[in-house]
Amino acid sequence: MKIGFDHKKYLEEQSKYILERVNNYDKLYLEFGGKLMFDLHAKRVLPGFDENAKIKLLQKLKEKVEVVICVYAGDIERNKIRGDFGITYDLEVLRLIDDLRTYELDVNSVVITRYDGQPATTVFINKLERRGIKVYKHEATKGYPTDVDTIVSEEGYGKNPYIETTKPIVVVTAPGPGSGKLATCLSQLYHENKRGNVAGYSKFETFPVWNVPLKHPLNIAYEAATVDLKDVNMIDSFHVDAYNKVAVNYNRDIESFPVLKRIIEKITGEESVYKSPTDMGVNRVGYGIIDDEVIKEASKQEIIRRYFKTTCEYKKGYIDKETSDRAKLIMEELSLKETDRNVVIPARDYLAKQRKLQGKNDGISSVALELEDGNIITGKSSELMDASAAVILNSIKHLANISDEIHLISPVILEPIKNLKLKTLGINNTVLNCEEILIALSICAATNPTAQVALEKLTMLKGCQAHSTTIIPTNDEQTFRRLGIDITCDAEYQSENLYYNN
């Protein structure tokens, strides 16, 4: 993989800049936008970026940092999913707490925002509190967003309980957007000011990158990633007016800035030090770019991946047509085509070949996977295993120089698994998925040296690209994710079955 981003340079620049901002206050509330950990989008569009760069940055500052996690009650209630992990927001909060502790960072508490006694949220609160996690409940802020006098009063932010914190940097993060991070920060500013403490607010939002051109593919990739939020990148007019310098921000931040500025000024009783929404940010990611051409190409590929993801989500009923159409318009803006992704044509051509050989169209799927050396490996669905499992096996056999004719997994192992699924567990679909095939392979590896050699090649699939001609099952999607393979799918189901659609 070509590197376009200097991770070490970024960490040094970023930590220095945050500490400079902290020096202005007794306490800094730092809103973390995007993913605090496993920022796979940033990793894909900035080759060389560490997906855990933010958490490692905070670990360097751990003596000065504690973390507050916000989650919107409505997201818990409707089981909102974090797309890149396939888990609900309440589970993501639990995972985040565990991971933060692994990095020796203090988790102060969880804030349930816009809480109104929702039943599923109440169960989640009980779960947290009974495991020793402090929970604060914030209701919707009266008067928000326009009635500043009510917002900054005992009827507004004053109704929220004060979160007791002890360290100079309070990182406020969340499972995803719309979780109430900003409101939590401002509520804390209100309470700190009432107590006579000098507190400040800043925002750490990786994208869009403020010092990269508006129409740079890197910033357009951010729009592709947030089509459901309808975010649009814009020139920060406030920044231009104040400094005569062009900076890029996004519509929600620019639109809300005048009100946000007034709220902060009302809380502090002083003129805000921030002249623009860009001023509020502490992001230095643009300074880590060392090869702009590499970044451009990686960003274009991400836009194509996002397009495929959006078309599949539309097919599944998760998003509306307007969102799907917007993803297509973003593709057209850069004159990108589906087939600009290297693995798309091989996957589709292999499917056409299999359909011709088998004399049918329904119930067949194929997957193409591009290895690091540029070789493209294909796999097809069969009565034994699905196409995802087949392409993984074929890929590791290729990497281990094992002939196609050699079977890595003994039928003695496979038959009991199929019988277990059908006869004991009552699962009608006995086709083995990726995870099941890899477990079977690991069992065979205990006695079969050839299988062991192939198994050891799995790590070489990290960072590879793949494409499926049909929507793959959730299990396979998660296995690809764990292997570090970026897979896209055509927005088609393998069969007409509604439940048994694998």
Residues 401 and 273 in one domain: no
Residue 273: how many other CB atoms lie within 10 Å: 11
Q: Domain range for residue 348?
A: 341-489
CATH number of the domain residue 212 falls in = 3.10.630.10
**321 falls within a domain:** no
Structure confidence at residue 84 (pLDDT) = 66
Asked if residue 386 and residue 263 are part of one domain, the reply reads no
The residues, any chain, with a CB within 8 Å of residue 131's CB and separated by 6 or more, are none
**What is the pTM for the complete model shown?**
0.90
Would residue 222 count as lying in a domain?
Answer: no
Both 479 and 351 in one domain: the answer is: yes
Last residue within a domain, chosen from 235, 256, 281? 281
Task: Give domain status of residue 478, yes or no.
Answer: yes
Q: How far apart are CA 95 and CA 112, in angstroms?
A: 16
In a domain, 301, yes or no: no
Q: The domain that contains 437 carries what CATH number?
A: 3.40.140.40
Residue 210: inside a domain = yes
Q: In whole angstroms, what is the distance from residue 160 CA to residue 141 CA?
A: 9
What is d(CA 81, CA 382) in angstroms, rounded to the nearest whole number? 31
Q: Are residues 247 and 389 in the same domain?
A: no
Identify whether residues 212 and 113 lie together within a single domain. Answer: yes
As given in the structure block, the two tokens for residue 443 are: 């069992």
Residue-level pLDDT at 499: 67
402 in a domain, yes or no? Answer: yes
Pair 277, 345 in one domain = no
What is the structure's pLDDT at 410? Answer: 87
369-372, long-range: CB < 8 A, 24+ apart: 369/343, 369/395, 369/461, 369/464, 369/465, 369/466, 369/485, 370/342, 370/343, 370/464, 370/465, 370/466, 371/395, 371/398, 371/399, 371/460, 371/461, 371/464, 372/1, 372/460, 372/463, 372/464
The first and second tokens of residue 404, run together, are: 């196609």
Query: Are both 188 and 87 inside the same structural domain?
Result: yes
Last residue of a domain, one of 233, 261, 281: 281
Whether residue 145 is contained in a domain is answered as yes
**DSSP code per residue over 434-465:** HHHHHHHHHHHHTT-HHHHHHHGGGGGGTT-E
Say if 407 falls within a structural domain.
Answer: yes
> Are 78 and 171 within one domain?
yes
How confident is the model at residue 180, as a pLDDT?
94
Instruction: Tell which of 281, 303, 328 closes a domain.
Output: 281
User: pLDDT below 50 — which residues of the chain?
Assistant: 502
For residue 449, which amino acid is it? P
Looking at the structure, do residues 68 and 204 belong to the same domain, yes or no? yes
Query: Is residue 258 domain-shared with residue 373, that is, in the same domain?
Result: no
- Residue 133: CB atoms within 10 Å: 17
Query: Within this chain, do residues 482 and 383 fall inside the same structural domain, yes or no?
Result: yes
* Total domains present in the chain: 2
Co-location of 270 and 383 in the same domain: no
**DSSP letters for 87-100:** EEHHHHHHHHHHHH
